[in-house]
Each structure stands twice: as C-alpha cells, then as structure tokens.
C-alpha cells in the first residue's frame, strides 16, 4: 500500500536549491574549465554527464560541438566508466527518438536556454549524436587512467621503447611471475648471499625470507625507483647509513659494548638484593626475574631485549607515568638505576640514559643491516623481473603508469607524442579526482600543459577545457596512492593556471545533497564537528582542506531517521569444552555474533511490519513504500567474523542476501566442487576427493548413514572408494557412477572444455551442472565459478593445455574476485565501505564501529629522501622510521574519519549505527572508534548526556517512519494459531513437469531425417560461433582476434579456411555498429534463467546475451542458421516460443522494465526483433494446450 502523494522536495525557488542549480550549471559549462568540489550525493556524475553532453552539442553561437573522440574522461574504476557510458548513451539515445517538442524541452533544461533557441538544424545535430558516438573508432573515451595509458602505449610503442603487442598482467599473473623470478635465484642467493638471507629470515620471524622479498614489488615502497636512481659512486650500505645517521659500529659491536664492560653488574646485583625482599609484589618480581635473566643469558642480543623489556616496558616506549618497581624500593639502588618518573631528561650518566642511547644506536644499526640485506638480495630480483616482463612483452598496472609518464615527461620523443595527442584531445575530464595519485596527476598535467602551448594555445576560437570533480572528504584510497595533500596542491595549480591565462577560475562548490534526508545530513555534520576529517588546516597559499559544510538537503520535506543502538557487551566466558568444534569456531555468545543476530531480526521486522522508505517513481512522484530487502545496505570496515555472521544470520532468517562483495576464488565451495572434478580424474584413488564429490551438488548423496557409510565401511585395505562405488547395484548410486565415468572419459580435455562440458551438459532430471550448483549453493555461487571458467579459458589460450598444470596454477595463485552488488536485484547487500563507494540505499546499517584506527602495518618506510627502510615490526623502529610511522598512523586516523563520512552518506532515509564491544577497555571501544564519534554527535543533537560506555537504550534522531501495514501483536503469554490450521488441506500433489525452453514449443516437423554430415558440421560451427560471441566481448579489443585464432586452432578438424570463415562471421557480428549496445559492458553472456510459466511448467535455460538497461531488458539469442529468415513469418515457432518463455519469466522478475526479444542471425549479420504481441499469443496458446 502506498502513502499519499505530495511534493516532498525543497521548492524550486528556494535559495539553497537555486545555489545548487547555479553550481551545477557553472560546472557543466562547456566553454570554461572548472574545478568542482562536491559533497556526497550532490550529483557529481550527473554534472559530468551534463558536461559531456553539452560539449557534444552545437554551441549557442553556432560553433560546432566537440568531436566525440576529442573528449577524454578519466574515471577511477571500470564500474564507474561503464555507469557513465550507460547513462550517456541513455541520454543520447533518448534524444535520437524524441519529438521536436520534447527534445527542445530537454535541451533547454540542460543548457539553460529558451526552447525557441533550437532550430531544426540544432535538433538534427542533437539526434545525430547517438550514432556519432557509437561510430567513434574505439568508442567514447570514458575510461580508467590505466586503460588510457594502455591505449597511449599501444599507439606509441616504439617511442615508449616497449613491445608493440604487449599484454597486460593482472595481479595474480604478476605475483606468479615474481615468484618465478625468486625461484630462479633462490639457490644462487643461498650460496652467495647466505649472511644477508639469514638476516632476512631472522627479521621475518618465522614467516620466511620470501615474505620480506615480496614487499619490494609494490611501487608504494619505492624500491625500484631508489635502485635505479641512487648514487652509484658509493656503496649501498654507506648510502643507507648516511640517511639514517647511523654510527660506524655494527649492531653486534654495539651490543658487545652495551651488555659487556659497560653493564653495571655490581649495581644490578645490589638492586636484585633489594627486589628479593618483596617476592610477592608482582612488579618487583617481574623486574627481578628479568634482571636475573639479563645477567645469566650469554646471547647478548636476547639479554639486551630482555633488559629493554624490564626497564622500558613491553613496547620499549619508556612509559613516563610509572616505574618498573613499587614505591617500597624508593631510595635504594633500584631507584637509582631504573627510575622513569623524572620531571625532565634522565640524569646524566644514569642507566636509563645509557640504555636509551644504546637502543637508539642499536636500532639504527639493525635497520641498516636489514635494509641492506633486503636491497642487496632484492635489487637483482627486481631487475630480472623487469627484464622478464620486457622479454615476454608484459606490463603490469604500475608499468602502464610509469611507462606513459616517462614517455610524456622525460623521453626524447615526449614533445612529439604530446603534439600528436594534443591534436586528438581537446577536453579532459577527471572524475573522483581525490583518489588520483601524484604520478597520475603528472600525466594529466602533461596533457593539459599542451592546451596552452604552441598551436594548442592558438585555438582560442575553440576553447580547450579541463574539468576536475572530486571531494577531499571522500579520499579513502591512500593504499592505492591517493593523496589528499596532492589534490589540494593541484587545486592551487589549477587556480594559478587560470589566472595566468587571464581567466577567472571557475571553481563551483556543490553543497546540496540530492540523496539523503535532512536529518541524516544534520547528523553527518554533527559527526564531522565531533571528529573533524582534518585536525589541522592544510595550507596551500589561500587553500584550506576543502571541506564543504554544512550540507543542505534537496529533500528537505522528506523526514529521515538516525538510530544509535546500545552496544552489544561481552557475555560470560563459555567454559564448555567443545573439543569437536572447528578451530575457527566462534561461540554463540561472541558479541559480533549476537549483534549479527540482532541486525537480522531488525531487518526481518522492518520488512514484516511494512516500515516505509521514500521512493521516487518514473512519473516524478514521491511516495512512501514498504521496505524491501533491496533497500537495505549493511556496511563494514573489513571482512571479518562480524561480516560472515551477518550474512549467516540473514540467511537463517530466510532474508535474501547477496553474499560477500569480494571473494577469494578458492574460498568458494562451488569452486572447490569444480576443482574436485579435476582432482578426481587426475587421481581416482583419492577417497576424500570422491567422497566430497558424492556429497556435493553434482551427485547429491547427502545422507551419510544411508549413502556414504555403506560404501566406505568394511572395505579391504587396498580397495578404493571408487572401486567400491562401481560394485554397487542399488539404483540410488547409478547416477553418481555414470557421472564419475563421464568425468574420467573427458580427462583428455583442456581445463575450459572439461569444466564447460560438465557445467553446461545435462546431468540428470534434465538439470545441467550449473542448475545443480545453484540449486545447492545458491546464486552467489555463480560469480566465483564463472571466474574459474574465465581463468581456465585464459590458461588454455596462453599455456600448454593440461588439467594437472591448471590445477597447480589455480591452487598456487589464489586470486580474488569482486562481485558487482551495485544492482541489489531483490537482496540485502553486505559490503565493505570501500566497495560501496558510489552506491546508495534507503536504509544503511553500520555495525563495524567499535574498532580504533588501524595502526599501519607497513614494513618498509620511505625516508624523506626516498630511501626505502625495512623495519619488520614497530619495536624495531629507529628515529627515522618511528617518525614516518607516526605520520602514517596520523594519516590513517584522518582517513578513518573520511571513511566514516563515506559510510554515513550512503544512506538516503534511515541510518542505523550499532556495534559489538571489543578490546580490553571496560567501555568496549577506544576513543578513536566510530561508535564514540557517533555517540557524541547524537548526544549533542538530542541535548542529552550519554554515559561514556554508550547509551542504555536505542536513541533516535528524527521522526519514526510510518508503516504501510500493521503487524499483528500477540497478547502477553498468548500465541496466535497459524492461519493454516483453519484452512482446508489443499491437494499436495506437486507439479513436477519440467521442460527446456527450446523444446517447449515444437515446430510442426516433429520427425527429422537422420543427421547428415553437413548438419553435424553446421551444428559444430554454430557452437563455436556461440562460444566466441560469449567469450570475446569481455576481452580487450586489441586481444580479441589473437584469442579467437588461438581458440579456433584447437577446434578439432576444422580446416584453416573454415576457421577463418568462422572468425570472420563472428567479428562481422561483434563489430557491427548497430550491435554495439548489445556487446557493450552492460551486456552479460550465458545468463541462466529458471522459473515457472503460467501453466505450471518449470523451465530452465540460458540466454545467449542479456542487456539490462535502466528501463529496458533486451534478450538476445544467437542463430547461426544460413540463410537468415527473410521475415518474422519464416522464423521457426520453437525459436519464438523459447523467447516467449524467457520474456515471461523475466517480466515477473523485472515488472517495471520493458522486455524486448531479438534473434541475432550471424548470416548478414541481421537482428530481428520479435513482436511482443506475437510472443504473448504463442505463450497463451501453449498455456491452453499443454
């Protein structure tokens, strides 16, 4: 039930709204460069799309619009680029078919002009933009900066001194290549650099020296840059020593002096005599034991570290508030030696001063030795790694940036390349600029500088523009190089450049949120005041930290709500001896699990009670509608016990949930089920693998007592489980035996073909392997298995086809996949805050709020002069690395607050903050926890004093949301009888009828002649074309033909002519401009569809290509028939019926979308869109006849 309609947004004549519209218009002005800072939800993406559209349109003064290929838009992620492209094509497509009146209205609204200003020529030019954009070679340049760099390097490989046909390495491939390099050197290192290797092994503390070497590969540590640019006139050790200010003594020599003759042994024994008088006083006893160990330990390093722990504390941080002994020992030798509570510096010549100085010298010496060892071993590895990539024509993501930067800034061909690029690019747009790294800014500046040099400066009649949009409050990717300070420095540079060009800098600020309710925005401002995103002002001339405050709300008449739940406290310890529990078992009273259960219950009650959220409908009207699972977004800081528990509890409550947003491939049960198929064919005698297959989704023998036990128990010592299984005559085992035999019969196939055969093939009960996987493990199993298939295909195309080798590669290089949860599709989303950047939801829950700011875990720190210094743990810091660590920890705290801002501003209507007690603090959270900041803000807004440990009951800011229906309330002590007790028992006979969509509607020719060789050839040809059209759209364009040729070369007995013909037909279809939207990134291949038709028949099938757009779903089925039917009437009714069934199922899933169906014939190629009335008539006939 919907609530009453009314206009819930701020009036268009309000000052705040007019300011917002003016800021957006200034930002989208195509004639002026702009630097835009925008609050969350203020319409950054809309403004960017507006600007691109206005750049393409004819100008008001009659000048032609920009060429589509002259616009370069750089985004942070592929998902953002795809979203931008989709929205831009939606707009241009709408223009192409709009009436004159509608188009004039849309253009006038976009450009702020009168509708009468657009003559017929302007309208035709606007309508032509859709086709022009589609026909632009290489497509519109809306791409990530890595994709842009790859395109530049492919265009100028000789100038960049890289292989012309280079391939891009992903993270998994790069890690595999790095370990290949290490494996090639490890024996030589052990023989020639044994001392350095021992130093690294000791530093790694049991993790192995390889762990230390892995640190070098990351560009953030700067090792490669230091090695290639360092002063070669002096030794590596001397250069590091000078940077540290270390003495000439080695660590061993420092220890020998400190713990040798300089150690006041007599005074220590006197102190021991004093301490022994108080054996039952804990501090005194601990100091006594440690001093005894110091005197008795021969290992000087161990003795020194024990001495430090005794007198400097467990963290060696010299806590000034306490002494390591009690007041009873005042006035004696113990106090003389070890008193820490001094008013100023330690007394000259005291033991505290001596050990402090020794520790400073020793830590410098150890950093020197460890860093030298790491770089001496690592430098040859890094050089070999770079050489191996060059030899094989490979570039990783960091190489794309560094090679392009060198090409544009330092190479002898830089000016030539910039000149050529300058002729192509007239407008540069940078999205999410706060996440751009310093190296990436250098690239952008090199391109922009050409706008104002030479011939570029002379093009005044056609102004060239730079557009930057970002929000420094949302800079949360420092681990990928994002630098808020650099963002602000670039802002100053932009202003200066505009002033140098005698132009007023166009720097609008977008403060109005079109996303969140006013209560949420007020609360966000209150939290910012409690936990400012920058504790100090960052000064760049007259620039500050760029924080726009306060927020204003477009939805000022739509009340929202913020809730702060009481903290879930720790319960008593579970003393039960759960000896059979898994080692990672979390007890049910664990606060994280209790909180997860509370969240799941609250979500279930929201849905059951009909609690409402605001929703804007297609007609522009706003209404309150009942909350659905898709309206709820749960955000955590990291994937941990709480993350997993929330997903488990939601499933337990039967609430649809999307699963993890990121998943390690090998952590997926579905992937392990698929890999077990390979393991079995490689080793049929592996009983455990076979048992897992039998219990798994492919065989379904889940009853241990009745299925597995009878065939596993009582076997002879040499009898394998496979041998026993084959001897079974019970019919229940027959499908499993047949399945295993099919596995063994296909063990000669490459990995991709092997897995595809058993996933796509019909196993039993007309179910494919995919059907069985999804039925057992749910829809979240699809993405990881699809990732495994993609990896298998890539492996088969680039390596020798071998199941054994593929299995070894997969188990070694684990890999991780990111699942796209942007479209909730009917389920609750549980994600990290980083993964939710750019998303929004009516209801946002923040449960992971009680952890403090994470201290940096870096082990390599760059000194102020760019020298990488290796420190395996914080206790090993010297003065230089301690200062760098403190800077990183301070930066982490600021970024943690920015992350909280991003999390809160995902909410549209309702924000829920909760937490589970953690740590040793009595209140359950540290002072830097999000929960504390949110609690203080809530107390300020409500004018209440909240206990330091948090509220005792739920606190709410904002009005309660009304319900769309009333839930039944049970009387105390009374339980309502379920409705089904009063109903007549229905017929329990189940309808088991199933059908494949392709067989549901048979054509009249029910009897066919035996299959001829020509027909067999045609079917095999069709399958190959289908496979290529499935695989190629997801590959980079430059790689497609090579991959297709490699794929066809393994296609069996097809001649070279037949292979070439199949490839040509495929690419004629794939590259046809009319089909560009179908094969864009918005489309998906081989999408499984299952459901129930109106006549009760269940169908299960796969759509060749599915294109889901904002309001439309396009179902495409490939047909390789020759010739193509001349018109609709000649299309086989079974083909139409199949599409009618798919459309019927999808219309129930997406009731608000228009469903379109088309048959794409590769002969031509020709796309025949099917008439929806015809399809419905066919479906109705089937309903009445089946």
The string of DSSP codes covering 1094-1144 is TTS-EEEEEEEEEEE-SSEEEEEEEE--SSPPSSGGGS-HHHHHHHHHHHH
Whether residue 906 sits in one domain with residue 787? no
Whether residue 849 sits in one domain with residue 782? no
Whether residue 199 sits in one domain with residue 67? no
Residue 964 in any domain: the answer is no
For the record, the structure tokens of 1181 come out as: 């006939």
User: Under a CB-based contact definition with an 8 Å cutoff, are residues 334 and 274 in contact?
Assistant: yes
979: left (phi over 0), alpha (psi -120 to 50) or beta: alpha
CA–chain centroid gap for 805, Å, is: 29
Whether residue 752 sits in one domain with residue 862? no
The string of DSSP codes covering 598-613 is HHHHHHHHHHHTTBEE
Whether residue 657 sits in one domain with residue 667? no
What per-residue confidence (pLDDT) applies to 1004? 43
Residue 480 in any domain: the answer is yes
- Neighbour count for residue 1105 (Cβ, 10 Å): 22
Residue 853 in any domain: the answer is yes
User: Under a CB-based contact definition with an 8 Å cutoff, are residues 920 and 931 in contact?
Assistant: no
Whether residue 630 sits in one domain with residue 509? no
Stretches in the chain below the pLDDT threshold 50: 1-6, 343-344, 456-458, 534-546, 548, 966-992, 1003-1011, 1186
Whether residue 100 sits in one domain with residue 201? no
Residue 205 in any domain: the answer is yes
224-226-231 Cα angle (round to 5): 135
User: Under a CB-based contact definition with an 8 Å cutoff, are residues 377 and 890 in contact?
Assistant: no
For the record, the structure tokens of 855 come out as: 């201290």
Inter-CA distances, 501 with 35, 204, 321, 463, 1026, Å: 15, 55, 59, 12, 56
Helix (H, G, I), strand (E, B) or coil at 618: coil
Residue where one domain finishes, among candidates 790, 818, 846? 818
Whether residue 738 sits in one domain with residue 724? yes
Whether residue 797 sits in one domain with residue 733? yes
User: Under a CB-based contact definition with an 8 Å cutoff, are residues 490 and 475 in contact?
Assistant: no
Residue 980 in any domain: the answer is no
Whether residue 831 sits in one domain with residue 810? no
Cα separation, 413 vs 1161, in Å, equals 47
| CA-wise closest residue to 760 among 786, 792, 787 | 786
Cα separation, 764 vs 525, in Å, equals 59
What per-residue confidence (pLDDT) applies to 92? 92
251-256-261 Cα angle (round to 5): 150
Whether residue 911 sits in one domain with residue 874? yes
| CA-wise closest residue to 1069 among 1021, 1127, 1122, 1025 | 1025
**Domains in the chain, number:** 5
204-210-214 Cα angle (round to 5): 100
Residue where one domain finishes, among candidates 348, 364, 392? 392
The string of DSSP codes covering 136-154 is STT--EEEEHHHHHHHHHH
Q: Which domain covers residue 705, as residue numbers?
A: 663-818
For the record, the structure tokens of 163 come out as: 């292989």
Residue 986 in any domain: the answer is no
Whether residue 779 sits in one domain with residue 863? no
Cα separation, 634 vs 647, in Å, equals 10
Cα separation, 117 vs 61, in Å, equals 11
What per-residue confidence (pLDDT) applies to 1076? 86
383-439-471 Cα angle (round to 5): 145
Residue 243 in any domain: the answer is yes
For the record, the structure tokens of 484 come out as: 């808020």
Enumerate residues 6+ apart whose C-beta is below 8 A from 394: 166, 167, 168, 169, 173, 177, 388
For the record, the structure tokens of 492 come out as: 């100053």
Cα separation, 429 vs 444, in Å, equals 10
Residue where one domain finishes, among candidates 392, 420, 455? 392
- Neighbour count for residue 817 (Cβ, 10 Å): 20
CATH of the domain at 630: 3.40.50.300
Q: How many H helices and E strands in the chain?
A: 43, 30
Q: What is the CA radius of gyration of the chain?
A: 34
Enumerate residues 6+ apart whose C-beta is below 8 A from 1145: 1089, 1090, 1091, 1093, 1099
User: Under a CB-based contact definition with an 8 Å cutoff, are residues 737 and 781 in contact?
Assistant: no
What per-residue confidence (pLDDT) applies to 597? 94
User: Under a CB-based contact definition with an 8 Å cutoff, are residues 612 and 3 in contact?
Assistant: yes
What per-residue confidence (pLDDT) applies to 639? 85
What per-residue confidence (pLDDT) applies to 578? 58
Residue 522 in any domain: the answer is no
């Amino acid at each position: 039930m919907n609530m009453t309609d009314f206009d819930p947004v701020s009036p268009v004549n309000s000052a705040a709204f007019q300011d917002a519209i003016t800021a957006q218009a200034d930002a989208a002005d195509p004639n002026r460069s702009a630097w835009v800072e925008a609050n969350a939800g203020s319409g950054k993406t809309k403004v960017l799309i507006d600007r691109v559209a206005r750049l393409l349109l004819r100008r008001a003064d009659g000048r032609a619009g920009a060429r589509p290929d002259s616009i370069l838009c750089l985004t942070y992620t592929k998902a953002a680029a795809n979203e931008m492209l989709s929205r831009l094509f939606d707009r241009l497509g709408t223009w192409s078919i709009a009436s004159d009146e509608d188009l004039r209205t849309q253009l006038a609204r976009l450009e702020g002009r009168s509708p009468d200003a657009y003559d017929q020529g302007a309208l035709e030019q606007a309508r032509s933009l859709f086709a022009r954009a589609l026909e632009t070679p290489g497509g519109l340049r809306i791409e990530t900066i890595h994709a842009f760099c790859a395109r530049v390097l492919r265009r100028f490989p000789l100038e960049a001194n890289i292989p012309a046909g280079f391939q891009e390495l992903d993270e998994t491939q790069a890690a595999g290549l790095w370990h290949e390099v290490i494996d090639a050197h490890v024996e030589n290192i052990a023989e020639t650099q044994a001392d350095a290797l021992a130093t690294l092994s000791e530093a790694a503390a049991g993790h192995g020296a390889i762990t230390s070497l892995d640190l070098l590969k990351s560009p953030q540590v700067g090792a490669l840059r230091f090695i290639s640019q360092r002063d070669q006139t002096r030794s590596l050790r001397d250069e590091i020593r000078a940077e540290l200010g270390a003495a000439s003594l080695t660590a061993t020599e420092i220890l020998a002096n400190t713990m040798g003759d300089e150690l006041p042994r007599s005074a220590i024994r006197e102190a021991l005599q004093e301490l022994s008088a108080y054996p039952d006083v804990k501090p005194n006893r601990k100091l006594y034991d440690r001093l005894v160990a110091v005197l008795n330990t021969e290992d000087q390093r161990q003795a020194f570290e024990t001495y430090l722990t005794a007198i400097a504390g467990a963290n060696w941080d010299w806590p000034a508030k306490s002494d390591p002994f009690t007041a009873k020992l005042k006035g004696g030798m113990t106090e003389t030696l070890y008193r820490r509570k001094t008013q100023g510096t330690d007394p000259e010549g005291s033991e505290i001063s001596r050990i402090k100085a020794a520790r400073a010298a020793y830590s410098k010496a150890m950093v020197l030795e460890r860093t030298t060892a790491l770089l001496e071993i690592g430098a040859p590895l890094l050089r070999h790694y770079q050489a191996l990539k060059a030899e094989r024509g490979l570039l990783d993501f960091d190489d794309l940036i560094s090679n392009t930067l060198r090409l544009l800034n330092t190479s002898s061909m830089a000016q030539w390349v910039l000149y050529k690029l300058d002729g192509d690019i007239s407008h540069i747009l940078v999205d999410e600029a706060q996440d751009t790294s310093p190296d990436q800014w250098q690239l952008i500046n090199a391109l922009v500088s050409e706008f104002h040099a030479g011939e570029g400066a002379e093009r005044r009649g056609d102004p060239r523009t730079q557009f930057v949009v970002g929000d420094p409050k949302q800079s949360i990717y420092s681990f990928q190089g994002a630098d808020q300070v650099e963002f602000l420095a670039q802002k100053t540079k932009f202003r200066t450049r505009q002033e140098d060009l005698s132009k007023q800098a166009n720097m609008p600020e977008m403060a109005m949120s079109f996303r969140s309710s006013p209560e949420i925005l007020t609360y966000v401002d209150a939290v910012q005041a409690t936990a400012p995103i920058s504790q100090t002002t960052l000064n760049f001339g007259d620039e500050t930290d760029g924080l726009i405050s306060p927020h204003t709300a477009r939805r000022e008449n739509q009340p929202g709500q913020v809730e702060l739940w009481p903290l879930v406290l720790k319960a008593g310890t579970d003393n039960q001896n759960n000896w059979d529990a898994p080692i990672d078992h979390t007890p049910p009273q664990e606060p994280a699990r209790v909180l997860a259960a509370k969240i799941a219950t609250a979500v279930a009650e929201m849905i059951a009670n009909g609690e409402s959220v605001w929703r804007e409908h297609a007609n522009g009207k706003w209404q309150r509608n009942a909350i659905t699972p898709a309206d709820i977004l749960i955000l955590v800081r990291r994937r941990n016990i709480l993350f997993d528990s929330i997903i488990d509890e939601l499933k337990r409550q039967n609430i649809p949930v999307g699963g993890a947003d990121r998943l390690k491939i090998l952590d997926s049960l579905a992937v392990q089920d698929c890999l077990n198929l390979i393991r079995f064919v490689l080793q049929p005698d592996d009983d455990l693998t076979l048992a897992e297959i039998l219990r798994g989704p492919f065989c379904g023998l889940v009853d241990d007592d009745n299925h597995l036990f009878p065939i596993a128990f009582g076997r002879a010592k040499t009898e394998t489980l496979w041998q026993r299984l084959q001897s079974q005559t019970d019919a229940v085992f027959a499908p499993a035996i047949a399945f295993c035999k099919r596995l063994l019969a296909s063990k000669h196939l490459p990995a991709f073909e092997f897995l595809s055969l058993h996933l796509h093939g019909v196993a039993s009960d007309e179910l494919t392997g995919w059907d069985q996987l999804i039925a057992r493990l749910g829809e979240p199993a699809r993405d990881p298995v699809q990732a495994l298939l993609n990896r298998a295909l890539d492996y088969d195309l680039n390596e020798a086809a071998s199941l054994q080798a593929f299995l070894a590669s997969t188990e070694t290089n684990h890999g991780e996949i990111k699942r796209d949860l942007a479209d909730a599709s009917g389920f609750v989303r549980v994600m990290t805050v980083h993964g939710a950047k750019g998303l929004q939801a009516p209801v946002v829950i923040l449960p992971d709020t009680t952890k403090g700011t994470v201290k940096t875990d870096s082990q390599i720190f760059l000194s102020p002069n760019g020298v990488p210094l290796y420190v395996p743990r914080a206790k090993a810091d010297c003065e230089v690395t301690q200062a760098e660590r403190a800077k990183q920890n301070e930066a982490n705290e600021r970024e943690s607050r920015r992350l909280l801002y991003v999390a809160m501003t995902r909410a549209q209507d309702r924000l829920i903050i909760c937490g589970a007690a953690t740590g040793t603090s009595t209140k359950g959270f540290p002072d830097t926890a999000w929960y504390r900041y949110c609690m203080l803000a809530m107390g300020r807004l409500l004018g209440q004093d909240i206990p330091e440990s948090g509220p005792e009951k739920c606190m709410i800011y904002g009005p309660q949301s009304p319900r769309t229906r009333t839930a039944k309330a049970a009387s105390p002590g009374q339980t309502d009888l379920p409705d089904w007790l009063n109903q007549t028992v229905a017929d329990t006979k189940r309808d088991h009828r199933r059908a494949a969509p392709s067989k549901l509607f048979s054509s009249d020719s029910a009897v066919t002649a035996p299959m001829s060789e020509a027909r067999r050839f045609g079917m095999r040809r069709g399958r190959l074309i289908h496979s290529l059209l499935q695989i190629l759209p997801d590959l980079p364009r430059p790689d497609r033909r090579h991959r297709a040729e490699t794929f066809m070369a393994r296609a069996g007995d097809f001649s070279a002519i037949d292979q070439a013909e199949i490839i040509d037909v495929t690419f004629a279809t794939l590259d046809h401009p009319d089909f560009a939207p179908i094969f864009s990134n918005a489309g998906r291949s081989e999408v499984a569809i299952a459901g129930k038709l109106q006549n009760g028949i269940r169908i299960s099938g796969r759509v060749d290509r599915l294109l889901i757009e904002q309001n439309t779903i396009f179902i495409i089925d490939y047909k390789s028939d020759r010739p193509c039917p001349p018109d609709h009437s000649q299309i086989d009714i079974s083909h139409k019926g199949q599409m009618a069934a798919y459309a019927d199922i999808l219309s129930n899933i997406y009731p608000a979308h228009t469903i379109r169906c088309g048959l794409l014939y590769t002969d031509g190629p020709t796309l025949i869109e099917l008439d929806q009335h015809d399809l419905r008539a066919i479906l109705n006939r089937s309903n009445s006849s089946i």
